[in-house]
Amino acid sequence: MKYLVLASALTLPLLTGCVVAVGGEGKSDYSSSWERTHEKNRKAIANMEIGKEYQHVINKLGTPNFSELVKQSDTEYRVLYYATNSIHSDGKTTKDECTPLVFKNNQLTGWGEHALERLKN
């Protein structure tokens, strides 16, 4: 019995090992997850067409990171913000890391900072 315990104690360190998990591109799952999301959003936005319905965009891109709504008289303006580029590397998404999509009365009128600036004027 002593020999069995001694043999187990001596061979146990030899049986332990180190497991290294590497993703397809050598990136961690956390970073590649948000990178994939940003890339998916960039591709979808690049293929958007002016005039698309609000619901069509939501169905295509999912829930935005931020959204805003303003109604002036009979006109409703919506801005949806989708994460497209990480700047701060702090694990939190901010508006400056997003691309804004601008809607007027539920119709896509443009995207990006220029579209947002036009809305402000």
Q: Which helix (H) or strand (E) holds 84?
A: none
Q: What is the pLDDT of residues 55-98, one digit of tens each?
A: 999 999 999 999 999 999 999 999 999 999 888 777 788 899 99
Q: What is the pLDDT of residues 6-63, one digit of tens each?
A: 555 555 555 555 444 455 454 445 557 888 999 999 999 999 999 999 999 999 999 9
- Provide the residue range defining the domain that includes 82: 2-120
What's the pLDDT score for residue 77?
96
**Alpha carbon distances (Å) from 42 to 22, 70, 84:** 26, 25, 6
- Count of domains in the chain? 1
Return the CATH number at 22: 3.30.1450.10
